[in-house]
Structure 1
Amino acid sequence: MSLFNVYPLFDITPAFAKDVFVYDTDGTKYLDLYGGHAVISIGHSHPHYIQAIQKQLNSIGFYSNSIQNPLQHTLANKLEAMSDCKDYQLFLCNSGAEANENALKLASFHTGKKKILAFKNSFHGRTSAAVAATDNKKIIAPINAQQEVDFVTLGDIQAVEAVLKQGDTCAVIIECIQGVGGLDEMPTAFYTAVAKLCKEYNTLLIADEVQSGFGRTGDFFAFQKHGITPDIISIAKGMGNGFPIGGIFIQPEIQPSFGMLGTTFGGNHLACAAAIAVLEVIAQQQLLSHAKDIATYFIEKTQSLPKLVTVKGRGLMLGLEFDFPVAELRKTLIYKHHIFTGNSKNPNLLRILPPLTIQKEHIDQLIAALQKEL
């Protein structure tokens, strides 16, 4: 049976990985500055992470959500303590798309409304409502188009209010730093104004932290810089360091009922063990402050690069915007310099999403390669 050919693949076959490096079947060593779409948070094959999953697998790896699973409570308590997001409820699922799908569904249940407000250049996933709220017509099938979504420009608060005052929007879903869209972020005043309008018009504010969460920006969540309190927060990617897990934080006034949400694999024993291990490593190695320190160093070093227009993002969710399309540069970095980087909807933007364990010497390796090629 052939594979369904939906991915343009680089001619590289990873065999094993350790911390910030990936090794292919030929033994070639690659510096991973992309982390598999910002998934690798505490480094590949972290020993504490491996030990936690192995230990859990030796006892019980899975059972459905029809029984008690104390690991879910342990994870919820650690998440509350480390994120400083108090009094939320936690629902666990398997991916970022599923997290956003459940967030939107829950907003509709709670408000009794059906429309969504999203922002241009957004990316929220590939499932039904999540993909409809994603600003990419190429990946929206006719069946997804039944969802009613208003797209407005990020930063246009007048457009936000014009939509919300119509009274039929259940949720505003927003990435405080747009990932796939190209690392755009607005001033704090915009986010606080959106939060205020959501309260005024009985609309839930969903912060999509799937890519930006778990310390990637130097804060536990990207929205925390702006001092807002979302009604729902979606999480995934770095949460499991490669093990599939996602979830949503839910404000206490949003009341659950049996059957409202559900999942077979979400919050299973192995997934919880992986996420707990990630949180423990983040705390032990002080990776949030480390992300900020490395970001400062990164920005300083990039000032010497020719053809660089600007550095976007914060923490270790970064983008280098050049005055030319970067597709060929990415290929050169991979095949000649053995460095993984990412792209975005902005063709001139090189995305840098490394494990949070990255060191200054690894930044130097990237800068040296870029200086040579530019």
Structure 2
Amino acid sequence: MNLFQVYPLFNINPVKAEGSFLWDDKGEKYLDFYGGHAVISIGHNHPHYQNKLKNQLEKISFYSNSVQNDLQTELAEKLGEISGYENYSLFLCNSGAEANENALKLASFHNGKKKVIYFSGSFHGRTSAAVSVTDNPKIVAPVNFSDRFIKCEWNNVAQLKQLLAENQGEISSVIIEGIQGVGGIILPTEEMIQALKKLCAENDVVLIMDEVQSGYGRSGKFFAHQEFDIQPDLITVAKGMGNGFPMGGVLISPKFKASNGLLGTTFGGNHLACAAGIAVLEVIKNENLIENSEKIGSYIESEIQNFNHIKSIRRRGLMIGIELDQPCAEIRSDLLTKHHVFTGNSNDANVLRILPSINITEKEADIFIGALKSILQN
């Protein structure tokens, strides 16, 4: 049997990782400045993370959600404390797409409505409803398409008001990313976020904030939306939540009431996943990584802002989009092949996406800065 080839692959086979670095099967060392799509939040194989997983593996790795699991309670309490959402509830699952599926479903159960507004440039996942609110026709199969999912232009308050008026009483939820990641690190305006919160409240519409990529300290706040001092009804998380262990979750406002069988998952919140999630939260807190995210992000921006060929830098914390005056593909390739630095791309061909672990150091950032300068100054 062969693999179903849906990914374009670099000719690199990583076999070892530590901190911000990877080593391939030939012994070559690489700086990871992309974190596997923002998944590696506290660095590869962090000692505390390793020990938590090893210790848990010696006890119990999995049982279903038909039994009590104190690790789930511990994870929820620690997540509530560090995020400031102590009064919310937590539903645990396996991925960002699954988190968004459950958020959309929970919103519809709550108000009995079935239409959803999403935004241009959005990415919320590849599963049924999640891909239907993703702005990429290439990955929306006919079975996923429905006129229940309505697109609004990003940061267009007037259009949002119009869509709510045209669909009076039919909109169940609005889903928005804290910062658009795949879209190219596109930031929401304060006007948009404040209007969105107000309009949702006035129209009995659930506000779903997708913090799958922008959450967990990456933006310099625990959640990107906290820059605007609002509280969404539902917040979805994944990626950096498990530092590589597959897990996701939905933070749920007290206005939603749970009932047996309302939501469910086989693997979500298993013992190993919770051990990974607890370790991540403990490292973020104990090593002040939210502050480090803003500190190092600001340092990188200040060092590269005057480089040739950079048109603009869009940044919150260590979520950085570098807009070039040319497609970034060749530059990204040179960073990888000539300087051994992993970076990312986006739906905007000219935007280089930077998502290193949030415990990265200035010394490690200097490797990227030097490599980028070498390429762009030519």
Following superposition, the deviation at residue 113 of structure 1 comes to 0.6
Aligned with 1:224 (options 216, 223, 226)? 226
| Counterparts of 1:176 and 1:91, CA distance in 2 | 19
The residue type equivalent to 1:133 in the other structure is V
Does the residue aligned with 1:110 lie in a helix, a strand or coil? helix
* Aligned 8 A contact 1:177 1:313 in 2: no
Does the residue aligned with 2:182 lie in a helix, a strand or coil? coil
Say if 2:164 is the partner of 1:164. yes
| Unmatched 5+ stretches in structure 2 | none
Does the residue aligned with 2:142 lie in a helix, a strand or coil? coil
Say if 2:104 is the partner of 1:101. no
Say if 2:62 is the partner of 1:67. no
Aligned with 2:286 (options 265, 284, 287)? 284
Aligned with 2:349 (options 341, 347, 356)? 347
Following superposition, the deviation at residue 176 of structure 1 comes to 2.1
Following superposition, the deviation at residue 300 of structure 1 comes to 0.7
1:318-369 deviation digits (Å, cap 9, x = unpaired): 1110010001111111111000000000100000000111111222211211
* Aligned 8 A contact 2:297 2:315 in 1: no
* Aligned 8 A contact 1:195 1:230 in 2: yes
Say if 2:371 is the partner of 1:372. no
* Aligned 8 A contact 1:311 1:319 in 2: yes
| Counterparts of 2:332 and 2:91, CA distance in 1 | 37
* Aligned 8 A contact 1:115 1:149 in 2: yes
- Paired position in structure 2 for 1:189: 191
| Counterparts of 1:219 and 1:147, CA distance in 2 | 35
- Paired position in structure 2 for 1:36: 36
Following superposition, the deviation at residue 199 of structure 1 comes to 0.5
Say if 2:300 is the partner of 1:298. yes
| Counterparts of 1:121 and 1:3, CA distance in 2 | 30
* Aligned 8 A contact 1:114 1:170 in 2: yes
1:245-265 deviation digits (Å, cap 9, x = unpaired): 000001111111111100000
Following superposition, the deviation at residue 147 of structure 1 comes to 6.1
Say if 2:86 is the partner of 1:86. yes
Moved more, 215-224 or 142-151: 142-151
* Aligned 8 A contact 2:83 2:223 in 1: yes
| Counterparts of 1:132 and 1:350, CA distance in 2 | 26
Say if 2:12 is the partner of 1:16. no
- 4+ long deviations beyond 6 Å: none
Say if 2:330 is the partner of 1:334. no
* Aligned 8 A contact 1:210 1:237 in 2: yes
The residue type equivalent to 2:198 in the other structure is K
- Paired position in structure 2 for 1:311: 313
The residue type equivalent to 2:23 in the other structure is Y
Following superposition, the deviation at residue 125 of structure 1 comes to 0.2
Following superposition, the deviation at residue 86 of structure 1 comes to 3.0
Does the residue aligned with 2:31 lie in a helix, a strand or coil? strand
The 5 A counterparts of 1:198-237 are 198-237=200-239
Say if 2:294 is the partner of 1:253. no
1:73-105 deviation digits (Å, cap 9, x = unpaired): 000000010001131111000000000000000
1:216-257 deviation digits (Å, cap 9, x = unpaired): 011000000011110000000000000000000011111111
The 5 A counterparts of 1:100-119 are 100-119=100-119
| Counterparts of 2:30 and 2:258, CA distance in 1 | 46
| Counterparts of 1:140 and 1:69, CA distance in 2 | 37
1:143-196 deviation digits (Å, cap 9, x = unpaired): 101362111111111111111222211110001210000111122121011000
| Counterparts of 1:303 and 1:48, CA distance in 2 | 35
Does the residue aligned with 2:36 lie in a helix, a strand or coil? helix
- Paired position in structure 2 for 1:152: 152
**What TM-score comes out, normalization by structure 2 length?**
0.98
Does the residue aligned with 2:62 lie in a helix, a strand or coil? coil
* Aligned 8 A contact 2:34 2:356 in 1: yes
| Counterparts of 2:208 and 2:147, CA distance in 1 | 17
| Counterparts of 1:146 and 1:121, CA distance in 2 | 18
Does the residue aligned with 2:207 lie in a helix, a strand or coil? strand
* Aligned 8 A contact 1:99 1:246 in 2: yes
| Counterparts of 1:176 and 1:280, CA distance in 2 | 23
The residue type equivalent to 1:164 in the other structure is L
Check 1:147–1:110 CA distance in 2 against 1; reply closer, same or farther (3 A cut): farther
* Aligned 8 A contact 2:131 2:139 in 1: yes
| Counterparts of 1:76 and 1:336, CA distance in 2 | 44
The residue type equivalent to 1:344 in the other structure is S
| Unmatched 5+ stretches in structure 1 | none
| Counterparts of 2:360 and 2:217, CA distance in 1 | 13
Does the residue aligned with 1:273 lie in a helix, a strand or coil? helix
* Aligned 8 A contact 1:192 1:227 in 2: no
* Aligned 8 A contact 1:129 1:147 in 2: no
The residue type equivalent to 1:284 in the other structure is N
The residue type equivalent to 1:149 in the other structure is F
Does the residue aligned with 2:145 lie in a helix, a strand or coil? helix
- Paired position in structure 1 for 2:270: 268
The residue type equivalent to 1:122 in the other structure is S
| Counterparts of 2:308 and 2:224, CA distance in 1 | 29
Does the residue aligned with 1:143 lie in a helix, a strand or coil? helix
